[in-house]
């Protein structure tokens, strides 16, 4: 067991190192694509904590992504905030709203939880449209010039450079992966899985399962919000689309496809799905159809996803 | 006079619980001494499981009071009661089928290490956990199955695993709801031995239909009927009690 633990840590670091090495050979265009994918991967990583480890299926995670997006973008746009402070602000606001929404939504279970999260998310989405004087609604807002660069530790960071954006995102993704990896392999992960596998038994052993779920929801929402903030700040654009149901479904798909309940699964899923949609949209404008077909195929034939299936087949030790 | 009254580990006063029009548990006054094995028997529908569910906190009582180790736990949720030392094994085995045997027990062990070693560094905490799991698996004779999935174990072993998981939390009081249900004669014998080992430093409440098993193990037996306590005595006394015979045989 110790050996496989070591090799799994090597695997995780290896994947991150590979992404780093890729930056030297990729063209600007591909760097941009992978930057986007990595941001979505952070989103999926956060989603997976709640879905994959705690077993709670949320249909409303777009609201956390959008929460981070707007909480970072609006102060920059209206108040002239600097990028780092806007980012930190977005993290705090995301954690706060996840706590609030979790405290309410977690009173429900199963299908009711799906519906409540979906409902909250729709409210958030419609609010971004309703207040389009402020949010820019569907058209969105393009962040001003001053937010395209910032100074940190005496260094000037230029956010218009594809390379810089790539490294920033990779840095955030690596930090997220390593933190999640550690949690999943430690005490918190054991509690999450215990709730997923048998909540009543877990409660009867002395665990406050509501608190466990709430904490997981806050972590999940904060990571998702962090991804949203990153997206908005790096690409200097915030818009309602990111709050729409499509993003909630996409993140579920990424996680299912790669393998729910594995750390690397959501990342792999984000890559496969992104390129698959890219491929289909070359042939048809109905590329959303591909999303639907993949979802159905996954549920029928492949419920464990790529890494989940590998883990089961070879009894690999993958966290 | 107060000083002469033995302090009981757990006691209930006028405990009630109804489901709609059915009174499942009615005005039960119950008292349990530290270290004893108490059998609870009674015909189907007597309210045995409801009663112990009120003790474990899985169900809330409508009225009455429950005191455990001097603390009024009546209003406390199940997880708090578990932390105070009340363990419960379900009538229908409840484990983590998708996880390995080791992980099953580790979930219980983590609860204990959390509580006992909050101040200790992380590494110490981890070794501690392995030790607890190891000792619980050895105690229940499941050491060989560490890396197996719990779902792959035979039914009797799953029952033992549920005991091991609870043992890892280090409870003061074990409530076992029909532990021998579905076990073979040999398995029941092993189970009896296991309970004898567990009891050395714990108190046990045993709900059972298997009368020879209860009479063999229990120090005292409580007979329930129609939501109330019909009789309470040592096993010998119960076996000759006319009211008990009547309730069981309908005489």
Interval A83-109: pLDDT, tens: 899 999 999 999 999 999 999 999 998
Mind giving me the DSSP string for A206-265?
T--HHHHHHHHHHHHHHHHHHHHHHHHHHHTEE-GGGGSHHHHHHHHHHHHHH-TT-SSH
Tell which CATH architecture fits domain B35-60+71-249. Answer: 3-Layer(aba) Sandwich (3.40)
Does the residue A134 lie in any domain? yes
Tell me the three state secondary structure of residue B86: strand
The region of weakest confidence among A131-135, A247-251, B153-157, B240-244 is B240-244
Distance from CA of A292 to the nearest CA of B (A): 29
Which positions ≥6 away from B93 have C-beta within 8 Å? B155, B158, B159, B162
Q: Across all residues in chain B, what is the average pLDDT? A: 86
% of chain A at pLDDT higher than 70: 97
Does the residue A22 lie in any domain? yes
pTM for the structure as a whole? 0.90
pLDDT band at residue B242 using 50, 70 and 90 as cut-offs: confident
A181-205 pLDDT, tens digit per residue, is 999 988 889 999 999 999 999 999 9
Single out the residue of B98, B95, B94, B90 nearest to residue B148, CA to CA. Answer: B98
Q: How far apart are CA B33 and CA B83, in angstroms?
A: 19
Where exactly are the structural domains of chain B?
35-60+71-249
The region of weakest confidence among A7-16, A106-115, A298-307, B212-221 is A298-307
Does the residue A260 lie in any domain? no
Which positions ≥6 away from B27 have C-beta within 8 Å? B14, B15, B16, B64, B228
Q: What is the pLDDT of residue B1?
A: 40
Tell me the three state secondary structure of residue B220: strand
Tokens 């995780």, residue?
A: A12
Q: Is the pLDDT of residue A317 over 60?
A: no
Q: Is the pLDDT of residue B95 over 70?
A: yes
Residue predicted with more confidence, A7 or A89: A89
Tokens 């920033």, residue?
A: A168
A135-170 pLDDT, tens digit per residue, is 888 888 888 888 787 888 778 888 888 888 999 999
% of chain B at pLDDT higher than 70: 91
Burial class of residue A206 in the structure, from the number of CB atoms within 10 Å of its CB (0-12 exposed, 13-18 middle, 19+ buried): buried
Distance from CA of A200 to the nearest CA of B (A): 9
Does the residue A285 lie in any domain? no
B16-60 pLDDT, tens digit per residue, is 999 988 888 888 899 999 889 999 998 888 888 999 999 999 999
The reply to whether residue A190 touches residue B165, judged by beta carbons under 8 angstroms, is no
Does the residue A64 lie in any domain? yes
The reply to whether residue B107 touches residue A194, judged by beta carbons under 8 angstroms, is yes
For residue A201, which residues of chain B lie inside 8 Å, CB to CB? 90, 94-96, 165
**Nearest CB partner across the interface for B95, out of A1, A193, A201:** A201
Tell me the ipTM for this assembly. Answer: 0.89
**Average pLDDT score over residue span B113-134:** 69
Single out the residue of B151, B149, B146 nearest to residue B135, CA to CA. Answer: B146
Structure tokens at B29: 């006054």
Q: What is the CA radius of gyration of chain A?
A: 19
* Contact present, B65 and A181 (Cβ < 8 Å): no
Q: What is the pLDDT of residue B6?
A: 57
Does the residue A43 lie in any domain? yes
Q: What is the pLDDT of residue B4?
A: 44
The reply to whether residue B169 touches residue A190, judged by beta carbons under 8 angstroms, is no
> How many of the other CB atoms lie within 10 Å of CB of B231?
18
Q: How far apart are CA A19 and CA A170, in angstroms?
A: 8
How many structural domains is chain A composed of? Answer: 1
């Amino acid at each position: 067991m110790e050996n496989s633990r070591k090799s799994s840590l090597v695997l995780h670091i290896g994947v991150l190192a590979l992404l780093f090495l890729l930056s030297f050979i990729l063209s600007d265009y591909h760097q941009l694509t992978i930057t986007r994918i990595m941001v979505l991967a952070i989103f999926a990583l956060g989603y997976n904590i709640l879905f994959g480890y705690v077993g709670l299926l949320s249909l409303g995670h777009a609201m956390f992504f959008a929460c981070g997006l707007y909480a970072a973008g609006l102060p920059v746009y209206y108040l002239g905030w600097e990028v780092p402070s806007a980012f930190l602000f977005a993290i705090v606001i995301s954690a706060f709203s996840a706590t609030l929404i979790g405290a309410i939504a977690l009173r429900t279970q199963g299908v009711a939880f799906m519906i409540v999260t979906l409902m909250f998310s729709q409210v958030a989405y419609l609010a971004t449209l309703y207040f389009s004087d402020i949010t820019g609604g569907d058209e969105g807002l393009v962040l001003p010039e001053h937010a395209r660069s910032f100074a940190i530790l005496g260094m000037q960071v230029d956010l218009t450079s594809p390379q810089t954006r790539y490294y920033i995102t990779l840095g955030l993704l690596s930090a997220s992966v390593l933190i999640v990896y550690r949690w999943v392999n430690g005490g918190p992960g054991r509690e999450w899985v215990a709730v997923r596998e048998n909540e009543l038994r877990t409660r009867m052993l002395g665990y406050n399962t509501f608190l466990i779920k709430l904490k997981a929801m806050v972590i999940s929402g904060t990571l998702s919000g962090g991804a949203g903030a990153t997206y908005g700040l790096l690409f200097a654009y915030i818009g309602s689309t990111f709050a729409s149901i499509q993003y909630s479904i996409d993140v579920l798909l990424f996680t299912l496809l790669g393998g729910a309940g594995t750390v690397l699964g959501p990342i792999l899923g984000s890559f496969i799905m992104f390129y698959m949609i890219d491929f289909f949209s070359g042939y048809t404008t109905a590329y959303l159809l591909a999303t639907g077909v993949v979802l159905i195929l996954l549920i029928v034939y492949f419920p464990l996803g790529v890494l989940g299936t590998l883990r089961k087949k070879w009894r690999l030790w993958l966290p | 006079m107060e000083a002469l009254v033995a302090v009981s580990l757990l006691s209930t006063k006028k405990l009630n619980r109804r489901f709609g029009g059915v009174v499942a548990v009615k005005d039960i006054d119950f008292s349990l001494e530290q270290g004893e094995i108490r059998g609870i028997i009674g015909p189907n529908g007597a309210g045995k499981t409801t009663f112990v569910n009120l003790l474990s906190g899985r169900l809330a009582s409508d009225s009455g009071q429950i005191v455990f180790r001097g603390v009024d736990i009546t209003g406390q949720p199940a997880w708090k009661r578990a932390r105070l030392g009340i363990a419960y094994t379900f009538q229908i085995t409840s484990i983590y089928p998708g996880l390995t045997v080791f992980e099953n027990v580790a979930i219980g062990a983590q609860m204990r290490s959390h509580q006992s070693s909050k101040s200790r560094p992380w590494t110490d905490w981890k070794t501690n956990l392995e030790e607890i799991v190891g000792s619980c698996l050895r105690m229940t004779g499941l050491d060989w199955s560490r890396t197996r999935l719990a779902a792959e174990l035979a039914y009797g072993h799953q029952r033992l695993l549920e005991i091991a998981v609870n043992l890892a939390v280090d409870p003061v009081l074990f409530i076992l709801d029909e532990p021998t249900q579905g076990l073979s004669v040999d398995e029941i014998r092993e189970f009896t031995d296991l309970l004898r080992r567990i009891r050395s430093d714990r108190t046990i409440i045993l709900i059972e239909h298997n009368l020879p098993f209860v009479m063999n193990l229990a120090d005292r037996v409580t007979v329930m009927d129609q939501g109330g306590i019909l009789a309470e005595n040592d096993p010998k006394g119960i076996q000759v009690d006319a009211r008990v015979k009547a309730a069981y045989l309908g005489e």
